[in-house]
Chain A
């Protein structure tokens, strides 16, 4: 199962873009990259996912490198409510199994 590596913590100024990196060097060709976030022990909240191409939705953008070994989640204008643990996850191909790592604790500061 592909695993992910994320920095344990990051800070970001309110109103600035938050760029959260993730390494997934052993990802297989048909495995998706998902991002979830978890605020204060609530259930994880879906943010975005992608396979090969960059993706954007109302919450964030996902940039996946051409070799698919790493990706970056971008929150374009971080707010204090974006303070959370962000998980980069590889979904095992042909199953629903999500393999969570330790995540990155993002602290958005005023």
Chain B
């Protein structure tokens, strides 16, 4: 157990809708990273937040956005859902600003877009 939790476990949406996924980091972990994992692929980095500010972003469009809160929780929001957004979404938390130490992953949220 990593102490990182995610909700919901599974989610089904239709194309064009918006979705919010939630992550609760380990207590004291100020950095959270989000990854998208398509079926049969490795996780792809979406973005990273440190103390409520985005401090790194992968090759994802602006309709992917995030929030981080002082209570070690965070959200991933995706607008205008597309079929290709169907994936396992993972969050990972770590202690320091650059996530230079070990990142601990949650169990993920499986999103299906119909």
Interface residue ranges, A against B (CB under 8 Å): 36, 41-46, 49, 87, 91, 94-103
Contacts and interface: CB of A to CB of B under 8 A. Distances in A.
B31 A96 contact: yes
A96 B104 contact: no
A101 B35 CA distance: 13
Interface residues of B, number: 28
A97 B58 contact: yes
B48 interface: yes
27 contacts: A41-B110, A43-B2, A43-B90, A43-B92, A43-B106, A43-B107, A43-B108, A44-B105, A45-B2, A45-B105, A46-B104, A46-B105, A49-B102, A95-B56, A96-B48, A96-B98, A96-B99, A96-B100, A97-B48, A97-B58, A97-B99, A98-B33, A98-B35, A100-B42, A101-B42, A102-B41, A102-B42
A46 B45 CA distance: 16
Contacts of A46: 102-105
A43 to B, nearest CB: 4
B42 A87 contact: yes
Interface residue SS majority, chain A: loop
Contact of B99 (A41, A43, A95): A95
A96 B107 contact: no
Nearest to B56: A95
B43 A94 contact: no
A103 B42 contact: yes
The list of the 10 closest CB pairs from A to B, nearest first, reads A96-B99, A100-B42, A43-B105, A44-B105, A100-B43, A43-B107, A97-B45, A46-B102, A43-B106, A95-B56
